[in-house]
A and B are shown apart, each in its own frame.
Chain A
C-alpha cells in the first residue's frame, strides 16, 4: 500500500521531466497515460487504506544522526483524503487541458509547446502529492519550493510581459513566505531538536512553539494568498485555465492550509496567542473579499477572490483547532475536500468562455443558456455551490465549520469569524446571482451557437457529480482525522 502512494507521486515527478522534451499528440498521450496510471495507483492505495481500517502509518525513508528524519512518509486519513482530491481533480483538469490547449481555443490558441505546459503541470501534481505524504519539515520545504517553481512555470506559460511579471510575483511572494516560515522551522528543528520529523515538533518548549507556529503560519498564509500577501493570486490568473483550476481547486492554495493543519496536528496543545494573530488576519481577509467581489469584471478574477475567501474558511476551521477543538481540524479538511471539485468546475467553465467565446469579461457574455447551455448550467451551479447552497458539497463543510460554535461561546473574535463566514457567503451569492442573470439567463444579442469538445464536457460533468457526492466520499476519512 505504501508503495502505491510513493509510486503515485514518483511517476508524475519523472514523467514531468520527460514531458518537457515532447510535443503534439505524443505529449498528449504520454501525459494522459502517466497521470491516469498515477491516479489508478493512488486510488488503489486509497481503497486498500480504507479497507485496512485507516491506521496511521509512519515510515522513515532516510535518516541521519544529526538531522534526524530527513525523508519519510505519513499515511493517515488526512494525507490520504487530501491526496485523493489532488490526484482526481488533477486528472480531470488534465483531461480537460488536452482539448483546451489547442489551436481551436479562441482566446489563447496553442500551436506548439504543449509539452512544456504538461511538463510543469505533471511536475506540479507530483510535487503536491509528495508534499502531502511528507513526514519531515525538510521534505515539506523541498516540495513546497518545487510547487512554487511549477507555479512559476505555468503562470509564465503564455509569455508576454504581464504573464512574466505575475509569474515572478507568485514565485517571489510564496518564496518569501517559505523563507520566513519553513526555513525558520527547519533551522529550529536542526539546532534545537536535532530532528526534522514532524513528530518532534510537539517537544518544542512553549515560547519556541509559538514562534515556530507563527513562522509556519506566515508560510501557509502566503501560499494560500491570505491577507496581507494575497495579490499574487488574482494576478496569477494569466495562467492557462486548467492550471488555474489546479492552483485554486486542489493544489497551491490548499497546500498552505494543509501545511498549517499538519503543524497544528503535531504541535498540540498550542498557546492561545496563536489564535488571536491568526483570527485577526483571517477576519481581514474575509472583509477584503466582501469588498472585492462586486468590483470584479473578469470571470477568473472573481473566482480568485472566491478562492481566497474559501481558503480563509478552511483557516477558520484551523483557528478552532488551535483553540483545541479537534472538529475544527476535521471541518477544515472537509472544506478542503469539498471545495476542490466545485471550484475546479467553476474554473473549467470559465475556461469554456475563453475557449468557445474568446473572452473572460463577464459583461460581454450574454445568453449562454441558448448559445452554450452546458456552460450556463455549470456556471450557475458552480457559483451557487461556492456560495454554500445545497445539494453542493460546500454547504456541508460550511455547516461543519460552523458547528464549532462551541469554541466561540464567550469568545467574541471567534464568533466574529463565524458571522463573517456567513456574510461572505451572502455577498458572494449576491454578486454571483447578478452575474448568472446577466450571463446565463438572458437573451443573447446575436443568435450564435458555441460548442466545446466532448472531453471537456465529460470532465465538467464528472466534476459536477463529484462536487455533489464529495462529502459522502470524504466523511469516513475526515472523522478519523485528529491528533
Chain B
C-alpha cells in the first residue's frame, strides 16, 4: 500500500537548505532564552519542545528522498508552526492568524500536495523520487500550487502578513527565513524529477505569480506600521525573486539550483536578523508599531544599529552578501529576458528606496521613545552572529558547494 524506501541523503542543494534551517534554528533557540520573558502569562504550550519538533522536521525535509516521508514531515512542520503561532493566544489576533494559517495550509497546501503525491504514486507505483512522464503538467502544477501557498506567493500570500508577526519573534525568524523557503526546495525537487521541462502554461503561471508577489510587496511596504508585518511583506517579495530564478531554470538556464540555494542562505540569515531585531525592538520598547517608536536611535543606539544593519542586509546593500545573490539573479535573467531583468532591477532599487525612507523616518528621526527593558545579551548575540554570517554567506556556500 505504501511502497517507499526511507533514506536520508544530503546532496549539495539539500545541504544548503538544511544549513539555513540549522543556523536559524540555533540562533532562534539562543534568542528565545531571554526573549520569552515578555510573555508574562503562562500559556501552557510547551515552547521549546514544539520549537525543537519544528526545527527537526525542517532539517529532515531536505534529506528525505520519498514523497511519503516528505509529506509526513511537511505536515508535522505545519502543525508545530501552528502551535507556535497561537502561542500568544490571549491575543485575539494571534488566534485569528493561527486559524487563517492552518486552514489555508490545509485547503491550499496539503490538499493539492496530497493530490499530486497520490497521482505521482499512481503514475510511478512508488513514493520514491524517480523521474516520470505521465500527467507531468498536472502533478507539477498541483505541487507548485501547494508549495506556493506555503511560500506566500501572490495571490496565496494573504495568510503570511498575519501569521508571521503573530508568532514570537524568534519563531517568526524561522518561519520567514527557513520554513517558507522549503516550498522553493520542494519545487526544485519536483522539477528535477521532470527534468525542468513542463508545458509553457505552467511556466507562465509561476512567472506571473512571482512578478505579482514583487509588485504587491512594493505596493504594501509604505502602508505598514507594524515592523514585523513590514518584514513579512519582504518575505513575499523575496519569494518572488526565488521563483523568478525557477522560471529562468524552466526557460532553459541550467544550474539555477545553485543560485537559489545561495540566495536562500543569504536571505534566510538577513531575514532572521531582521525579525530578531524587530523582536529586540519589541522587547526594548514594548511595541511593534514603528510610529510609536520614532527616533529610537536616540534612546538605544545599539538596538537601532542592529535594526539598521538588518535592514541593509535584507535589501542587499554591500558588503552584505545578499547583494551578490540579487546581482546574480539579474545576470541570470539577462540571459532569458531583458524585460524581466530590468523589472527585477527596478524592483530592487524601489524597495531599497522605500526601506531607506523608513530608516530615515523612524530610526534617525526626531523623538526619543522610552526604553522599557534593556536588550538581553543572548538576543543581541543571535542578531550579531546572523549579521556576521550574512557578511560571509557567499564564501560559506562556495566552500560547501565545492567540497560536498
Contacts and interface: CB of A to CB of B under 8 A. Distances in A.
B102 interface: yes
B99 interface: yes
A429 B106 contact: yes
A330 B89 CA distance: 41
Given A389-B79, A391-B76, A402-B118, A441 B89 contact: yes
A465 B67 CA distance: 25
Given A400-B1, A429-B102, A443 B90 contact: yes
By secondary structure, the A interface counts as helix
A78 to B, nearest CB: 14
A406 B76 CA distance: 27
Given A422-B111, A437-B86, A409 B122 contact: yes
A64 B106 CA distance: 56
Nearest to A369: B44
A241 interface: no
A478 B78 CA distance: 29
A409 B119 CA distance: 9
A425 B75 contact: no
Contacts of B111: 422-423, 426
Given A402-B114, A403-B118, A422-B114, A327 B1 contact: yes
Given A395-B75, A441-B89, A441-B95, A402 B115 contact: yes
B10 interface: no
B1 A479 contact: yes
Interface string A405-425: 110010000000011001101
A419 B79 CA distance: 22
A446 to B, nearest CB: 16
B38 interface: no
B103 A429 contact: yes
B2 interface: yes
B347 to A, nearest CB: 34
A399 B114 CA distance: 7
Interface string B193-215: 00000000000000000000000
A334 interface: yes
A405 B114 CA distance: 11
Contacts of A370: 44
Given A390-B72, A422-B114, A373 B44 contact: yes
Contacts of A402: 114-115, 118
Contacts of B90: 442-443
B282 to A, nearest CB: 21
Interface string B67-104: 01001100110110000001001100001001100110
B118 A330 contact: no
A439 B72 CA distance: 28
Q: How large is the interface on B (under 10, 10 to 19, 20 to 34, 35 or more residues)?
A: 20 to 34
A399 B79 contact: no
A398 B113 CA distance: 13
Contacts of B68: 399
A191 interface: no
Interface string A374-407: 0010000000100101110001101110110110
A419 B103 CA distance: 17
A435 to B, nearest CB: 11
Interface in B374-403: none
B361 interface: no
A334 to B, nearest CB: 7
A433 interface: yes
Nearest to A433: B99
A405 B122 contact: yes
Given A390-B76, A399-B114, A422-B114, A433 B1 contact: no
Contact of B103 (A390, A405, A430): A430
Given A402-B115, A406-B122, A437 B99 contact: yes
Contacts of B106: 387, 389, 425-426, 429
A331 interface: yes
Given A390-B72, A442-B89, A478-B1, A403 B122 contact: yes
Contacts of B219: none
B348 interface: no
Contacts of A426: 103, 106-107, 111
A389 B75 CA distance: 7
Given A426-B111, A433-B103, A441-B89, A390 B98 contact: no
Given A390-B79, A422-B114, A403 B89 contact: no
B121 interface: yes
A120 to B, nearest CB: 37
B79 A384 contact: yes
A325 B119 CA distance: 16
Contacts of A419: 115
Contacts of A56: none
Nearest to A327: B1
A356 B305 CA distance: 54
A144 B399 CA distance: 70
B108 to A, nearest CB: 9
A398 B72 CA distance: 12
Interface in A444-479: 475, 478-479
A419 B89 CA distance: 33
Nearest to B72: A390
A442 B118 CA distance: 38
Contacts of A66: none
A413 B350 CA distance: 51
A372 B235 CA distance: 39
A54 B368 CA distance: 77
A328 to B, nearest CB: 10
A433 B103 CA distance: 8
A434 interface: yes
Contact of B75 (A390, A403, A406, A441): A390
Nearest to B101: A433
Contact of A433 (B43, B102, B115): B102
8 contacts: A334-B1, A384-B79, A390-B75, A399-B68, A403-B2, A419-B115, A422-B114, A425-B106
The 6 tightest CB contacts between A and B, nearest first, are A441-B89, A406-B122, A402-B118, A390-B75, A422-B111, A426-B107
Given A403-B2, A475-B2, 13 more contacts: A331-B1, A334-B1, A384-B79, A396-B2, A399-B118, A400-B2, A403-B121, A405-B122, A423-B111, A426-B106, A433-B99, A478-B1, A479-B1
